[in-house]
Structure 1
Amino acid sequence: MTVTHRRTTATTCTVTAATAALLITSGTTAWAETGGDSSAQQLATTAREQLRNTNSLRLDYVDRSPETAASFSRAAKLDLALDSKGNCTGVMTMGAHGGTVKLVKHGGDVWLKPDKAFWKAELPGRQGAHAAQVFKDRYIHGPASDDLLKGVAAMCDLKALQKGTTSSQPQSLERGAETTLDGTRVIPLTSRSNSMTSTLYVTADEPHRLYRAAQKGPGTDLSLTFTDYGKPVPSRTPSAHQSVDVSKFREVLQERQT
């Protein structure tokens, strides 16, 4: 199709992959059943169960890596409420001032609302300005199976994220002193592999839930914060007058290319 098709799909899939990778990389180490501090292992196991059994939650993904900060084609932040039925709502912020995209998925439908900065970064020259004007303050709407939108649909899959917590590796954990993150009392559980440090922050109070997973190393600085366990995802979707069918988006691209 077009560069927009390829990049938008790639962007959303990249966020999904990065989110899953953070869970798997820092998570599988921390979900270990043997080695290290037994109390740390028990906290990790409890937090895993809480995450795996919730029907909904909110995640706040942040990528502070230099490569992401310099690239408008990579997501630097993602604030997303999602549930086990595949519904979600949130905002994705691109690196290098590449704009933001509001997103909503409900049932089999997806809505995307890029801002002006995104369109200008996404499309070259006057094409970006034209798209920003045509779709100003409106969502692009279509089925979750659409090639342009299916990356977002995949990103809203809570069950896929939960599945990433089922693996375990026999590595040790180090339990740190209780601390406070954003007003939440947590216990850090840290593991190290080569030059990478992974830390799970588990809430100090019961039920012990995973509050944050973080990974740091050369060129890497990622975090995932989990809140609102069990809180329903807002069910409101953009109205028809706020939306434009995804087919219109393709028409605009065709017009600008001829």
Structure 2
Amino acid sequence: MAANRKLLAAAVACAAAIVGLTGCLGGDEEKDPFEGMSADKIADKAADASKGAGSFKVAGEGQQEGKPLKVEFSIAKSGDCKGNVDGGADGTAELLVSGKTQYMKGDEAFWKDAMGGSGQAGKASKFKDKWVKTPTEKESGVCDADEMFRSDELKGLKREKDAEVDGEKAAVLTKSKSGKKSTFYVAMEGKPYFLKVVTSGKDDPGTMNFTDYGKPVVVKAPAPNEVMDMQELMAS
């Protein structure tokens, strides 16, 4: 379904493609937990640790096709998730994935924008503020930690000067390709989780923050009487 894919693509563009605050760290005498490791190896450890946490939260903002976009998701160990996307003038929407079912609830502006290319924009008001049930799209990767922290894409990195992210010491890894620069911040204390990722360049820049690793996330599907069927709404 086109509207569904567009929302997920926007979320993944921010969440999956960008896994920073820079500043000097004191205490050079402190041991570097990544001493002797290549930047790629550090990224591998971060990917394994972040996926291994099971649950986490991700939030950030950036641009999608030149338009502002904010996302916030909580991912449960089960693979379920819940979150929201704020597209500014293009509307806002909530997304919830429970088991094999995906639910979306957006305002009229969101549905109008999402359905514009399908010739169905005139029906946007029927979807306003309703939970709409659709099949999940596994390839989207929204709730898939394995997809979000794909270590096979974290290659050719360079370690820069260490920094801090919200008071936490972080190793800084960068990668530049085709006019796009990605900067990865990896925790240097405790488990080597990804803390923040920043992408810069003319195409879809953005910043994502990862928090609450390992903390329980409860995802509850909407009550049946609050859910509308996509096909029924399109046909009416």
| DSSP-derived class of the 1:250 partner | helix
* 1:158 maps onto 2:145 in alignment: yes
SS in structure 1 of the partner of residue 89 of structure 2: coil
For residues 233 and 43 of structure 2, what CA distance do their matches in structure 1 show? Answer: 46
CA contact (8 A) 1:197 1:217 kept: yes
8 Å CA contact 1:78–1:91 kept in 2: the answer is yes
Equivalent position to 2:222, from 204, 229, 238: 238
The TM-score normalised by the length of structure 2 is 0.75
CA gap 1:237/1:17 in 2 versus in 1, 3 angstroms: same
Output aligned runs, 1:40-59, within 5 Å.
41=39, 43-59=42-58
Matches within 5 A, 1:1-258: 5-13=1-9, 15-16=11-12, 19-23=15-19, 38=36, 41=39, 43-64=42-63, 67-69=65-67, 76-94=69-87, 97-123=89-115, 128=121, 131-132=124-125, 134-144=126-136, 150=137, 154-162=141-149, 164-166=150-152, 169=155, 171=156, 173-181=158-166, 183-193=167-177, 195-252=179-236
Distance 2:201 2:86 in 1: 23
Q: TM-score, normalised by structure 1?
A: 0.69
| Cα distance in 1 between the residues matched to 2:138 and 2:13 | 10
Letter in 1 for 2:78: K
**Counting helix residues as a fraction of each chain, which structure ranks higher?**
1
Cα separation, 1, equivalents of 2:153 and 2:115: 41
Q: Any stretches of 5+ residues in structure 1 without a counterpart? A: 24-36, 71-75, 145-149, 253-258
Question: CA 1:247–1:13 in structure 2 vs 1: closer, same or farther (change >3 Å)?
Answer: same
CA RMSD of aligned residues (A): 3.3
Alpha carbons of structure 1 residues 120 and 17: separation in structure 2 relative to 1, 3 Å? closer
Q: Is the 8 A contact 1:54 1:230 kept in 2?
A: yes
The 1:251–1:151 alpha-carbon spacing in structure 2 relative to 1, beyond 3 Å, is farther
Query: Separation in 2 of the partners of 1:233 and 1:130?
Result: 34
Partner amino acid for 1:113?
K
Runs (4+) of structure 1 exceeding 4 A deviation are 127-130, 151-154
Contact 2:187–2:193 under 8 Å retained in 1 = yes
- Paired residue total: 219
Query: 1:190, 1:197 within 8 Å by CA — same for their partners in 2?
Result: yes
**SS of the residue 1:190 aligns to:** strand
Contact 2:2/2:114 (<8 A) preserved: no
Identity of aligned residues (%): 22
Query: 3-state DSSP class of the match of 2:17?
Result: helix
1:209 to partner: Cα distance:
1.4
